[in-house]
Chains A and B, each alone.
Chain A
Amino acid sequence: MKRHFRELSVTATLLLVLLGMAVFAPAFFQPQPLLSLVTREAPTLIVACGMALVIICRQIDISVGSQFSVCGIGAGLLAARGWPLPLVIGAAVGLGAVLGAINGWLVAGLRLPSIVVTLATMVTLRQGLNLGQQGAFVNLPDRVQWFGLSQSAGQWVLVLCSLAVLAALGLALRHWPAGRQVYAVGSNAEAARLAGIRPQWVTFLVFVLLGALTGLAAIMNVVQSPQVQPLAGAGLELKVIAAVVVGGVAIAGGRGNLWGAFAGLLLLACVSPALTHLHIEAYWEKAIQGAIILLAVVADGVRQRRSEP
């Protein structure tokens, strides 16, 4: 019970908020808008899973927003050129993996601090994209929309897909030796090395995985509208990091899990509609996001101080 105090308290808070919404703003629970909301957040969930791994490994990646945009535009351009959908999906994931690999090589290979590296790649990718696209949207062929299914079916596919990724990664993190290695490296890289693990390899691979997941998320976002916006990924990194940190993944690495990240994401996703129903302007969202990150980190810090002699 104590081990998962954070995850449980976040879930409890989430339930409280949902309860509050049920009482004060029952309109929130109408099936169709709710499904649309959840579908919109599905890509974010996938990126959050990847980000959780990176942070558990004691790194960070603030370039996911730009990766998302680039993969989305890339996928859109290929689709517009007539590529079949499976190939487009594969290309998006592959592109994301390559971008992640670049980050991974700089951090694990050159031993550079991940914050500054991903700051640089974030801007380079974003500006490169702006240069290429000049802000233009990419119009998508109809067959791409909702994977060629009806909107409702497509939404369910997306939601289930994201939940499947969550479940698969969550289980792998828990029950697969490779997954535990991520925790080991984040907790004590030197002890990991002595135990026969290769910390640099593990670090590199989590960045690649995050990139691939970002690519997947991008394509999941692409199929939701008739056009791809180059600005699609803006602010994604903060949203995802906030969700993950709130959910109990410690910045210092080595602890936290995907269920917490999931609960954190849902909680934060409720903030925006909650604000609307409380008649608070949407402009407070970023400030609240920042405040939530700070509160979560302070809570972690206080907990650590208390456990120290």
Chain B
Amino acid sequence: MSAPEAPAGWKRLFLRYEMLLFAALLAEWLLFHYFGTTTNRRGVVVGFGTMDRQFDILRHSCEIGLLALALTPIIITAGIDLSVGSLLGLCAILFGKLWFDGGLPIPAAAGLTLLIGALAGGLNAGLITGLRLPPLIVTLGTYSLFRGLAEAITHGAVTYTDFPASFLFVGQERWLGLPVQAWLFALVAAAVWLLVHRTVFGRSFRAIGFSPEGARHAGLPVERRIALAYVLAGLIAALAAIIYTARLGQAKADAGTGYELFAITAVVLGGTSIFGGKGSVTGTLLGVALIAVLKSGLATLPIVIRLNAAEEISGLLTGALLLAALTGSVLPKILSSLRRHRQAG
């Protein structure tokens, strides 16, 4: 297995990719701004170009962004977690239940929900690191289990609503000019960025992703580090659930359905390798922004409005985007092996 041929400065190459992402984000934003903004009959500017829209984008991107942040350390360790979206739903329901049926004050309910999220992550962690089971099938099982529990607890029908205004403030109002949850998101983003890029934990994740046996021989506690990544993901998914509930004003069992796709796409798009080792939180954030702008911007395009197919088109494009990002990530490997074949042949 040959080592990368890049000279010292692979860091530089990486920065270049993120520059590309930023440029793409800018281009996308400008495109939607041009095509998605119009002036209606009363002379008011509507569509993409409004401040309201931008804040909406920000609000919507917080939950998927949190899930993408949660997935980044896991994917860096060459693992995967398909259950984060379902866990969001389960935590939302439990949060509502603790508050409504349990009568707990909101902060207590929130705290307990975070704990439950961490425990759920711990279930994944225990099965994956303790019993050495493949993350794929474990999180596929918990993907079904968590969503199933959410549906069962609510009998598929119950929705928790009528949350106090002080709580809804978190999801629907602004603080110091920005949506409240954006501040929370920024906090978590900063924390995850620090964890991945500036702590020994992040360094371990990277080493484990590149070579688990190599990491073990260096004395790194491989299983403990991997477990940490999954528990953290559970915790963050729980936080996303609380924010989701605050934004929508209601907690339903189908909360977060399909979010895992967007989260994984954001991570892979951001430059984190699905095979592990290489990864960047900044890239993930840019990936989240790209997808959030895409989702929101599509809804403002006249064609899409006429077809009334915002969700479908954004889902379609996201799926295609994920495939493109995956293909792009392996293209260099394929091209170089083709070149080697031609030389040897």
Pairing of A with B = yes
Q: Are A124 and B144 within 8 A (Cβ)?
A: no
Question: Is A4 an interface position by the 8 A CB rule?
Answer: no
Categorize the interface residue count of chain B.
35 or more
Collect the chain A residues with CB atoms within 8 Å of residue B307's CB: 131
**Residue-by-residue, is B205-216 near A (CB-CB < 8 Å gives 1, otherwise 0)?**
000000000000
- Identify B144's interface contact among A120, A283, A293, CB under 8 A: A293
Q: Are B151 and A293 within 8 A (Cβ)?
A: no
Q: Are A290 and B326 within 8 A (Cβ)?
A: no
- Identify A60's interface contact among B136, B146, B261, B330, CB under 8 A: B136
Collect the chain A residues with CB atoms within 8 Å of residue B155's CB: 281, 283
Q: Least Cβ distance of A254 to chain B in Å?
A: 14
> With contacts A113-B274, A298-B133 known, is A293 near B319, CB below 8 A?
no
Question: Is B31 an interface position by the 8 A CB rule?
Answer: no
Q: Are A283 and B134 within 8 A (Cβ)?
A: no
Q: Are B330 and A126 within 8 A (Cβ)?
A: no
- Identify B145's interface contact among A111, A125, A245, A287, CB under 8 A: A287
A289 to B319 CA separation, bound complex (whole angstroms): 26
- Identify A245's interface contact among B137, B152, B265, CB under 8 A: B137
A284 to B142 CA separation, bound complex (whole angstroms): 14
> With contacts A112-B327, A116-B322, A284-B152 known, is A290 near B141, CB below 8 A?
yes
Q: Which of B219-247 contact A (CB under 8 A)?
A: none
Question: Is B195 an interface position by the 8 A CB rule?
Answer: no
Q: Are A124 and B316 within 8 A (Cβ)?
A: yes
Collect the chain A residues with CB atoms within 8 Å of residue B264's CB: 116, 119
Collect the chain B residues with CB atoms within 8 Å of residue A117's CB: 323, 326
Collect the chain A residues with CB atoms within 8 Å of residue B330's CB: 110-112
Residue of A nearest to B324 (CB): A120
Question: Is A198 an interface position by the 8 A CB rule?
Answer: no
A158 to B82 CA separation, bound complex (whole angstroms): 34
A120 to B147 CA separation, bound complex (whole angstroms): 20
Collect the chain B residues with CB atoms within 8 Å of residue A123's CB: 258, 261, 315-316, 318-319
- Identify A131's interface contact among B132, B147, B268, B312, CB under 8 A: B312
Q: Are A290 and B142 within 8 A (Cβ)?
A: yes
Q: Are B316 and A110 within 8 A (Cβ)?
A: no
Collect the chain A residues with CB atoms within 8 Å of residue B312's CB: 127-128, 130-131
Question: Is A16 an interface position by the 8 A CB rule?
Answer: no
A275 to B82 CA separation, bound complex (whole angstroms): 27
Question: Is B1 an interface position by the 8 A CB rule?
Answer: no
Q: Are A290 and B151 within 8 A (Cβ)?
A: no
Collect the chain A residues with CB atoms within 8 Å of residue B144's CB: 238, 242, 286-287, 289-290, 293
Q: Are A281 and B152 within 8 A (Cβ)?
A: yes
Q: Least Cβ distance of A80 to chain B in Å?
A: 22
Collect the chain A residues with CB atoms within 8 Å of residue B333's CB: 111
Q: Least Cβ distance of A104 to chain B in Å?
A: 14
Question: Is B111 an interface position by the 8 A CB rule?
Answer: no
> With contacts A116-B322, A251-B136 known, is A294 near B131, CB below 8 A?
no
Q: Least Cβ distance of A150 to chain B in Å?
A: 36
**Residue-by-residue, is B125-166 near A (CB-CB < 8 Å gives 1, otherwise 0)?**
001000111101110111111111101101110000000000
Collect the chain B residues with CB atoms within 8 Å of residue A126's CB: 315
A305 to B334 CA separation, bound complex (whole angstroms): 36
Collect the chain A residues with CB atoms within 8 Å of residue B314's CB: 127
Question: Is B80 an interface position by the 8 A CB rule?
Answer: yes
Residue of A nearest to B262 (CB): A123
A251 to B334 CA separation, bound complex (whole angstroms): 27
Residue of A nearest to B80 (CB): A115
Q: Which of A123-168 contact B (CB under 8 A)?
A: 123-128, 130-131, 134
> With contacts A116-B322, A286-B151, A287-B144 known, is A301 near B132, CB below 8 A?
yes
Collect the chain B residues with CB atoms within 8 Å of residue A111's CB: 330, 333-334
Question: Is B320 an interface position by the 8 A CB rule?
Answer: yes
Q: Are B137 and A297 within 8 A (Cβ)?
A: yes
Collect the chain B residues with CB atoms within 8 Å of residue A301's CB: 127, 131-133
> With contacts A113-B274, A123-B258, A127-B316 known, is A290 near B131, CB below 8 A?
no
Collect the chain B residues with CB atoms within 8 Å of residue A232's CB: none
- Identify B134's interface contact among A116, A125, A252, CB under 8 A: A252
A112 to B145 CA separation, bound complex (whole angstroms): 27
Question: Is B19 an interface position by the 8 A CB rule?
Answer: no
> With contacts A123-B318, A124-B316, A127-B316 known, is A305 near B132, CB below 8 A?
yes
Residue of A nearest to B133 (CB): A301
Q: Are B309 and A287 within 8 A (Cβ)?
A: no
A242 to B166 CA separation, bound complex (whole angstroms): 43
Collect the chain B residues with CB atoms within 8 Å of residue A290's CB: 141-148
**Residue-by-residue, is A268-309 near B (CB-CB < 8 Å gives 1, otherwise 0)?**
000000000000010111111111011001101110010000
Q: Least Cβ distance of B97 to chain A in Å?
A: 15
Q: Are B136 and A127 within 8 A (Cβ)?
A: no
Collect the chain A residues with CB atoms within 8 Å of residue B265's CB: 120
A130 to B127 CA separation, bound complex (whole angstroms): 36
Collect the chain B residues with CB atoms within 8 Å of residue A242's CB: 144
A128 to B318 CA separation, bound complex (whole angstroms): 11
Collect the chain A residues with CB atoms within 8 Å of residue B138's CB: 294, 297
Q: Are B152 and A287 within 8 A (Cβ)?
A: yes
Interface pairs (15), CB distance under 8 Å = A60-B136, A113-B274, A117-B326, A119-B322, A120-B261, A126-B315, A127-B312, A131-B309, A241-B140, A281-B152, A286-B151, A287-B152, A290-B147, A294-B145, A297-B134
Binding site for B on A (CB under 8 A): 60, 62, 106, 110-113, 115-117, 119-128, 130-131, 134, 238, 241-242, 245, 251-252, 281, 283-291, 293-294, 297-298, 300-302, 305
Binding site for A on B (CB under 8 A): 80, 82, 127, 131-134, 136-138, 140-149, 151-152, 154-156, 258, 260-261, 264-265, 268, 274-275, 307-309, 311-316, 318-320, 322-323, 326-327, 330, 333-334
